[in-house]
Amino acid sequence: MAAPVLVSSHTAYRGALTIAGDGGLVDLGFMLLAVGSSTPTSWSITLTSGTSGHWTTPTDGTFPTPTSTGDTADLNGGPYVFNVTATNGDGTSGTCVLTINIRADTYTISAQSDWTAARGASNSTTLCGKTAEVARAATGFEVTSLLVSLHNTTASNTNYHIITNEDNDYPAPIYYVRHRDSSYVKYNNLYTITDRASGSSGHYFIRNDFNGTDVTTMVEINDPIIRGPAGEVENTANGIYIYFTLEGEFTVRNADMTWVANAFGAAPNTLKVYGGKARYFTSNGAQTSSDSFTLHDFIFMSPMRDTSNGVFPDQDHVDFIQFSDNIAVAPDMQRIWLVHADGTASCTTQSGTSVQGPGVMKNIVSVMANEGYSPMINRGNNLEVACLTSINQTVAPGMSLTANAWGDSWTEPGADGGEPWVRFVNTHTAVTIEPCLSA
C-alpha cells in the first residue's frame, strides 16, 4: 500500500479564548491529505515549537484542542508548530508540518456545544465584542444547526458578536443557522446547505420567543453562501426567514443563494437588503410585510415550478417580489433586475395590494421569457416610481389599471414634458437598455 501523501505544511488559526476541549471536531485528513492519497489508519502529532502542555495531541485523526493549561493561559505560547505523521496499516507513513497561529478575542468552534460553552450563562453578554470562528474542515455542523440563543437578550450591549469562518476560502458547511432572543450579532461569510426536510423554515431562521424583556434586533447577515439541493424543486427551504412581529432591525449584504423556496421570507419592523443574487427559487424571490423594506442592487433569477404544491399543483405562478396585502410598508427598491432566464414558472414581477408609501421604486428591470401575468407594480399609494423597464412581458408593465392614488410623485409618461417612468420592450432580439434620465 502506498504511503499517505500529506501536504508539506499547513497553517491553521485558533482563537485565544477557545475553551479546553473545544474546536476538535475537525477532519485532519480532509485538511492535510493530498488529493488521491491513501487513507491512514493512525496519526501522531508532536509539538516542536511553542509552549508545551497547551495542546492535546490526538491519534484518531482529529485536530489538537487546548488543554486546561492552554485555556487558562489564553494560548499565549504560540505560534505552535507540530510534526504530523499519518501511517497506513502496513507501516508506511507521510509527514506534514502543522503551524497554529493564535487570534486575539476569538473563540474557535466546531460544534454547537463549543458556542454554547463560549456564551456561558443564558442572557449573558460574554460574547459581545468577541468573534467565534467555525474551524476549517469542522464536522460538527454538517447535519445540525448552529443555534445562537439567549445572547445579549436585552440589547444592552451594542458591541457586535461576530460569527465567521477560520478560513473564508474554505468554509465548513453548516446545515442551517437558528437565531433567537439575541441582539447585536453579525454572521459573516457562512456557508449553509439545508433543505426543507431539515424541518427548518430557512437557512437562516430568526425569531424571538417573547420572554419578558427579551428582544432580537441589530442582526446582520453578510456575504452568506446559501445552497439548497441542486435541481430540487419540492424540498427547498427559505433562504433567510425572519419571524413575523419582530420589532428589530435586520440587514443582509451580498447574499448568494441558489435552490431556495423564498429567498427572503420576512416580516420584521425593518429589513434592509444591499446587493446579491438569488437564483432558482420555488416560492417568491422576496415575501415581506416589513414596515420598512429596503432592497438595493439585487438580482432575482430563474423562478421554478414546484409540482408538489397542493394549492397550485403546477406552481405556474410565483412572484419575484411579493408584499403582503394592505400593509403600511415604506419600500425603497432601487437598481433591481428580475430575470426569468431558464426558470420554469411564470412570474409576476411585483405584486401585493395597496402598498402604502411614502416609498421609492426606481431603476428596476424585468426580463421575461415572453412570460408574466401581472404588471410590474400592482397597487400603491404615495410612491415615487421612475425608470422601470420591462422586456418580453406578455402583459404591459407599469401600474395596473386598478391602481389607486399615487400622489404627486407620479406623472403620466411624458406628461408636461417629463420623462417616461416606464419602458416596454416586446422583442426577442438583443435589447440595449438605455439609462433613464429621470431619477
CATH value at residue 90: 2.60.40.60
In a 13 Å sphere around the CA of 359, the CA atoms on its Cβ side amount to: 24
Per-residue pLDDT, 361 = 73
Residues 95 and 115 in one domain: no
Residue 207 or 277, more confident:
277
- What are residue 255's DSSP bridge partners? 276
Q: How far is CA 350 from CA 284, 306, 365, in A?
A: 10, 19, 11
Residues 90 and 128 in one domain: no
Is there a domain that residue 203 lies in?
A: yes
Q: Which amino acid is at 7?
A: V
Is there a domain that residue 207 lies in?
A: yes
Mean local confidence (pLDDT), 67-87 = 96
Is this structure's pTM higher than 0.85? yes
Residues 231 and 335 in one domain: yes
Residues 85 and 132 in one domain: no
Q: Which of 72, 103, 134 is the last residue of a domain?
A: 103
Highest mean pLDDT among 53-57, 202-206, 300-304: 53-57
Please, which pLDDT band fits residue 126 given cuts at 50, 70 and 90? very high
Residue 216 or 311, more confident:
216
Per-residue pLDDT, 209 = 67
Closest to 213 in 3D by CA, of 268, 269, 159, 153: 153
160: pLDDT strictly greater than 70: yes
| Residue ranges in 16-144 assigned as alpha helix (H) | 28-32, 68-72, 112-119
| Cβ atoms of 322 and 295 closer than 8 Å | no
Residue 286 or 108, more confident:
108
| Tens-place pLDDT, residues 334-386 | 888 888 888 877 666 665 545 555 677 777 777 765 454 444 555 555 666 66
Residues 74 and 110 in one domain: no
Residues 142 and 29 in one domain: no
The number of residues making up the chain comes to 439
69: pLDDT strictly greater than 60: yes
Cell numbers representing residue 369 in the block:
421569457
Is there a domain that residue 68 lies in?
A: yes
| Cβ atoms of 387 and 410 closer than 8 Å | no
Residues 322 and 396 in one domain: yes
Residues 150 and 284 in one domain: yes
Is there a domain that residue 185 lies in?
A: yes
| Cβ atoms of 304 and 316 closer than 8 Å | no
In a 13 Å sphere around the CA of 1, the CA atoms on its Cβ side amount to: 16
Highest mean pLDDT among 99-113, 214-228, 321-335: 99-113
- What are residue 383's DSSP bridge partners? 359
Q: How many domains does the chain fold into?
A: 2
Cell numbers representing residue 241 in the block:
426567514
Per-residue pLDDT, 404 = 34
Per-residue pLDDT, 81 = 97
Residues 92 and 138 in one domain: no
- What are residue 9's DSSP bridge partners? 97
Which residues, other chains included, contact 212 with Cβ-Cβ below 8 Å and sequence gap of 6+?
none
24: pLDDT strictly greater than 50: yes
- What is the residue range of 88's domain? 9-103
In whole angstroms, what is the distance from residue 20 CA to residue 359 CA?
A: 52
Residues 270 and 234 in one domain: yes
Q: Which of 80, 103, 126 is the last residue of a domain?
A: 103
Residues 129 and 56 in one domain: no
279: pLDDT strictly greater than 60: yes
Q: Which of 103, 120, 145 is the last residue of a domain?
A: 103
| Tens-place pLDDT, residues 202-259 | 898 888 765 566 788 999 999 999 999 888 887 788 999 887 667 788 999 999 999 9
132: pLDDT strictly greater than 90: yes
Residues 212 and 79 in one domain: no
